[in-house]
Copies of this chain bind each other. A is one copy, B any other.
Amino acid sequence: MANLTRPIIEFWYEFASTYSYPAAMTINERAASKGIDVRWRPFLLGPIFFELGWTTSPFNLQPAKGKYMWRDLERTCTKLGLAFRRPDPFPQSSLLACRIALVLDSETQRQEFSRRVFNAEFSSGKQIDDPNILTALLQDMGCDAQEVLEKALAPANKEALKQTVNEAQSLGIFGAPMFITPDRELFWGYDRLDDALDWACRSSDRT
């Protein structure tokens, strides 16, 4: 019964987002150490950026900020002992990977698949818009890749992803990673993960 009272934090991530990588690789362990469960919410930033008139990552639109981000991401990964390779091209097209992550049956599968995608992209330098790459990741997990891909590309799942992006916008999400506590506080960026977990613990204590 104790498990029913554990706070749940929502982890909104985008496969093309650079700081979503260290978040994805560390969030479960850090949340578990504080007695918090994590619900992984894959979504797309592209449609949100597009409404601002941006057709690519802000890190490409602002070269000085982009240069800083790559250096900072490298420092962050070094600190965490995570392998890092700069994706080329950047950003990668994350649509297919996101549709697959969304359609997977269980939270466990979604998390496992998502970590494998981030690893393929930021550690192995693979192209995450390549169906063959994603098929191999699914097969490595023991999934029926063909069946998953068919469900991922079905109209119902495309609609589900649109709804998810709408939900993100209605929650006020403008970037990734975003952590949302049970009392709907938003924390943006990998460097706010611990703040978000601490907040979730405190707000859970108050209820």
Binding site for B on A (CB under 8 A): 52, 61-62, 64-65, 67-68, 71-72, 75, 169, 172-175, 185-189, 191-192, 195
Contacts and interface: CB of A to CB of B under 8 A. Distances in A.
A172 B72 contact: no
**Copy total for this chain:** 2
Given A64-B174, A72-B187, 19 more contacts: A52-B62, A64-B169, A64-B172, A64-B173, A65-B174, A65-B175, A67-B172, A68-B172, A68-B174, A68-B186, A68-B188, A71-B185, A71-B186, A72-B188, A75-B185, A75-B195, A189-B191, A191-B191, A191-B192
Nearest to A173: B64
Contacts of A52: 61-62
Nearest to A53: B61
Contacts of A61: 52
The 4 A-B residue pairs with the shortest CB-CB distance, nearest first, are A64-B174, A65-B174, A64-B172, A191-B191
A185 B174 CA distance: 28
